């Protein structure tokens, strides 16, 4: 099946599932993510034959490192050294596995973590920006708007108005370099 028809089918099924679902926010996010994939027309490595990419354990190690150093400067050289690879080999393998370069992946992880913090705390956006490694609120606003399609303040306001219990609110998760939204399991 051609890639475009797969993505189109996913989008059609997501819209159909949303009409039956109670969680409007989750559905909106799902449809938006599928629309973004449709714009990019790239499938992750797991969905196509992929040689020369990173192993699952390497991605787990990278994710842990990025999460632990969210507020610090994270360079491609540091990530490559973490896996004992050259920077060029690492960059090529990373893009082969995820479909995006490491710097884009890091920004996406930072934005996903910032979204979760905006939903669960009342911290100022400036503080959230610094905690997640953005140099100032303006940089955070630009990156957030580019990734999500709305300003952080507006996104926060709209999503805090939705009356969904906290333990069932969508949680941003990274999947092959793209964030997706999944319901959190009750703790």
**What is the structure's pLDDT at 64?**
94
Taking the C-alpha atoms of residue 19 and residue 41, their distance in angstroms, rounded to an integer, is 25
pLDDT tens, residue order, the chain (187 aa): 444 555 555 555 555 555 444 455 555 555 555 555 544 444 444 444 457 799 999 999 999 999 999 999 999 999 999 999 999 999 999 999 999 999 999 999 999 999 989 988 899 999 999 999 999 999 999 999 998 888 999 999 888 776 555 555 555 554 455 555 555 444 3
Q: Flag whether the pTM goes above 0.75.
A: no
Sequence-ordered list of residues with C-beta below 8 angstroms from that of 161, at least 6 positions apart, any chain: none
**Long-range contacts (CB closer than 8 Å, 24 or more residues apart) made by 146-150:** 147/107, 147/108, 147/111, 147/179, 148/111, 148/115, 149/32
Main-chain dihedrals φ then ψ at residue 25, nearest 5 degrees: -65, -45
The CATH code of the domain at 42-183 is: 1.10.10.60
Q: Where are the domains of the chain?
A: 1-41, 42-183
- For residue 73, the model assigns a pLDDT of 94
């Amino acid at each position: 099946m051609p890639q475009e028809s797969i993505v189109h089918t996913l989008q059609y099924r997501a819209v159909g599932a949303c009409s039956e679902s109670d969680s409007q926010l989750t559905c909106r996010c799902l449809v938006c993510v599928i629309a973004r994939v449709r714009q990019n027309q790239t499938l992750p490595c797991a969905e196509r034959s992929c040689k020369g990419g990173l192993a699952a354990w390497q991605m787990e190690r990278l994710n842990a490192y990025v999460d632990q150093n969210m507020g610090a400067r994270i360079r491609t050289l540091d990530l490559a050294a973490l896996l004992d690879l050259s920077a060029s080999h690492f960059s090529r393998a990373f893009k082969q596995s995820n479909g995006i370069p490491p710097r884009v992946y890091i920004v996406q992880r930072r934005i996903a973590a910032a979204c979760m913090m905006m939903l669960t705390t009342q911290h100022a956006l400036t503080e959230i920006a610094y905690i997640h490694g953005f140099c100032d609120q303006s940089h955070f606003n630009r990156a957030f708007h580019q990734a999500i399609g709305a300003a952080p303040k507006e996104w926060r306001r709209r999503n805090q108005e939705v009356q969904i219990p906290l333990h069932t609110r969508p949680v941003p998760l990274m999947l092959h370099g793209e964030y997706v939204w999944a319901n959190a399991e009750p703790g």
